[in-house]
Amino acid sequence: MGSRSEFPVQPIQRFAGKSAPIKRPEEITCFSYDVNREFRWDESSLQYYWPPSLPADLSAGFDTFNKWDDSTDEHLDGLVKALMLHEKSIGERLKTDFVTWRGMMTRFMTAPFDQFNSFDMNATLFQGTIFIEEDHPSKFEDKKEQSNRPPNRNGLSQDIMSFWGYKFESLALIPDIWDNVSRDFIESREEHIVDNIQQYCSVVYTQIGDASLVLGGEVDAVWDRKPDDKTLPINWVELKTSEEIQSERDHIKFERKLLKFWVQSFLIGCPKIIVGFRSKSGQLQRLQEIQTQSIPGTVKRGKASWNGNMCVNFAAEVLEFLKKSITSEGVWRISRKKGDPNISVYKIEETGTGQILRDDFIEW
């Protein structure tokens, strides 16, 4: 059906040089998922950082993990709903080239330096804006395959290792500013039920090269509180766990992880990442604060396994390619399989917007 456009990832040297212009991401609206995963157009699920006590066992409570059933395809629903409510409140539609989850932009931006990079996305052009969602069926197949993998050498499953990240959040976060939280709550965090159902999502406006974007992404916490002045940057905090670095090989592995940490935080405007280093078996041992903007420089002076400017320039070019390729109605697939030299775009439905957009958003 129709023609296929391709964007070659290599040679990446063509993205070297000064960074394309970028605009600091600014929050335009936000939303929360509550304990029942109900959408709320507010910041009720926003959390605050308060250091955990160390050491701690990240596996504790795995048996009572209240886990979100990720077989549900949420499309762009929360993001588009928050955007619609925001647009209604200001009385006009936002003019932007792209609307998507931050995770989709992360895939594009890390592509030049991530050898395992692969994705399937669906896109549609509506009133001059390209909306991009993840193709959930493809993603879910990958995830199922991952969960079915046998435990690793230490007898640990993918599921428990993924739990560690949520447990760390539960040990390091509080639901309100410190003044409003009881000492009891803070001291009993090790016993709290861990869940990944509640989320706070920030919706930001940003620009990369010649493209304007509205991105939605989860933020783990705020350091102090959100400023009343909406034009001021917000002191977001991203929490990450990582295995303690012991060898040269671990160091290289960690530098590669920093690429994802950096891109994820950079895109939503999160200035600080707190890494909880753990043992191989999941004992949380120490914390390290990393300033997001310092990461590309640190990597450059280290093993230089990736380059931040090249990621930005690559992303700017991919966005231009998408603008030139997705020019008519219908549903388009944006795809890159593992090891594929190209990012491909082709039409999969001639008309409509698939399930990418909610009817109430289209009609308001």
The contact set with ligand A3P (CB under 6 A) reads 162, 164-166, 168, 220, 240-241
Q: Which is nearer to Mg ion, 122 or 199 (CB)?
A: 199
Name the minimum Å distance from CB 147 to ligand A3P: 9
Among ligand A3P, Mg ion, none, residue 321 binds (CB under 5-8 Å by kind): none
Name the minimum Å distance from CB 324 to ligand A3P: 31
Name the minimum Å distance from CB 226 to Mg ion: 17
* 57 touches Mg ion (CB under 5 A): no
Q: Which is nearer to Mg ion, 74 or 87 (CB)?
A: 74
Q: Which is nearer to Mg ion, 220 or 317 (CB)?
A: 220
Q: Which is nearer to Mg ion, 134 or 220 (CB)?
A: 220
Among ligand A3P, Mg ion, none, residue 166 binds (CB under 5-8 Å by kind): ligand A3P
Name the minimum Å distance from CB 269 to ligand A3P: 15
The whole-angstrom separation of Cα 20 and Cα 17 is 9
Q: What are the b/e assignments for 43-69, b being 16+ CB within 10 Å?
A: eebbbbbbebeeebbbbebbeebeeee
Q: What share of the chain is helix, strand, coil (3-state, %, to 5)?
A: 35, 30, 35
Q: Which is nearer to ligand A3P, 277 or 332 (CB)?
A: 277
CA dihedral 182, 65, 239, 211 (to 10 degrees): -120
Residue found under tokens 């670095």:
245
Name the minimum Å distance from CB 322 to ligand A3P: 23
* Residue 217 bridge partners (DSSP): 202
Which among 236, 216, 190 is positioned nearest to 105, based on CA atoms?
216
* 220 touches Mg ion (CB under 5 A): yes
x-or-dash pattern for Mg ion, window 222-241, by CB under 5 A?
Answer: -----------------x--
Among ligand A3P, Mg ion, none, residue 241 binds (CB under 5-8 Å by kind): ligand A3P
Contact of 183 with 55, CB cutoff 8 Å: no
Contact of 243 with 123, CB cutoff 8 Å: no
Report how far apart, in Å, the C-alpha atoms of 341 and of each of 6, 10, 36, 323, 330 are. 9, 7, 42, 20, 26
Name the minimum Å distance from CB 37 to ligand A3P: 16
Stretch that binds Mg ion, among 10-18, 51-59, 210-218, 281-289 (CB under 5 A): 210-218
* 190 touches Mg ion (CB under 5 A): no
Give the number of C-alpha atoms closer than 13 A to the C-alpha of residue 53, restricted to the C-beta side.
7
Q: Which is nearer to Mg ion, 270 or 316 (CB)?
A: 270
The whole-angstrom separation of Cα 97 and Cα 107 is 18
Q: Which is nearer to ligand A3P, 241 or 325 (CB)?
A: 241
Name the minimum Å distance from CB 168 to Mg ion: 8
x-or-dash pattern for Mg ion, window 14-33, by CB under 5 A?
Answer: --------------------
Count of residues near Mg ion by CB under 5 A: 3
The whole-angstrom separation of Cα 44 and Cα 104 is 25
Contact of 221 with 47, CB cutoff 8 Å: yes
* 270 touches Mg ion (CB under 5 A): no
3-class DSSP state for residue 363?
helix
Determine if the peptide bond prior to 11 is cis (ω within 30°): yes
* 218 touches Mg ion (CB under 5 A): yes
Name the minimum Å distance from CB 101 to ligand A3P: 12
3-class DSSP state for residue 269?
coil
Q: Which is nearer to ligand A3P, 28 or 172 (CB)?
A: 172
The whole-angstrom separation of Cα 26 and Cα 233 is 7
Q: Which is nearer to ligand A3P, 136 or 240 (CB)?
A: 240
The whole-angstrom separation of Cα 130 and Cα 10 is 25
Interaction site with Mg ion (CB under 5 A): 218, 220, 239
